[in-house]
Chains A and B, each alone.
Chain A
Amino acid sequence: GAVVSQHPSWVICKSGTSVKIECRSLDFQATTMFWYRQFPKQSLMLMATSNEGSKATYEQGVEKDKFLINHASLTLSTLTVTSAHPEDSSFYICSASGGGMNTEAFFGQGTRLTVV
């Protein structure tokens, strides 16, 4: 199946710093990428949807100035957690879809963010 690579797998950062997470589709063009966050003992929560070349659409309650999403090319989307705080510690997962008739989406491996 298609491969989506997410980097880094885990990161520890100091409170107040910013962290960038990359999501790459390796063997297909991802017109749409999704960013999810997983809270402990809960399912994934969709944070935002990004289409290549457009501004991301954020879900209600997600601060767009805090979670900056860029989808500048058909193979790369980035999520930047700005001025991270301990409550931002979580598991972040991206998924990518080719769009159109193929609505199947493929997930990255996820990034475990720990803010200390």
Chain B
Amino acid sequence: GEDVEQSLFLSVREGDSSVINCTYTDSSSTYLYWYKQEPGAGLQLLTYIFSNMDMKQDQRLTVLLNKKDKHLSLRIADTQTGDSAIYFCAETSYNNNDMRFGAGTRLTVKP
């Protein structure tokens, strides 16, 4: 089946930028998402990008999409301790409403 992969852990210092990477295999992906999951909470949609875009910026968040390499990244500027969470990359394709998730990247922000 189609896969979505992410590194499992990332640790940064408060104030630094965080970059979380994701790769996927489905060439028919249309929407690509970043979700945040805080401990004990459900998923929170952070941002998403349509596959015909290569960049989307929303306040401290910047999403970069390299469709040729099937690589998606989420950059968090000025990372804060409140950004500590698990970040999931997900994708869906036009012909299939199903959503495929990566395993999640645990971001730890150190003071």
Contact = CB atoms under 8 A, between A and B. Distances in A.
Interface stretch (A11-19, A79-87, A103-111): A103-111
Contact of A6 (B31, B42, B48): B42
A44 B101 contact: yes
Contacts of A67: none
Contacts, number: 49
A103 B45 contact: no
A100 to B, nearest CB: 9
Q: Which of B31, B40, B43 has the most chain A CB atoms inside 10 A of its CB?
A: B43
Interface of A is mostly: strand
A105 B97 contact: yes
Interface string A96-116: 010100011111111010000
Given A43-B103, A103-B30, A103-B92, A93 B97 contact: no
Interface of B: 30-31, 35, 40-43, 45, 48, 88, 92-94, 97-99, 101-104
Interface of A: 1, 6, 9, 32, 34, 42-44, 46, 49, 91, 93, 95, 97, 99, 103-110, 112
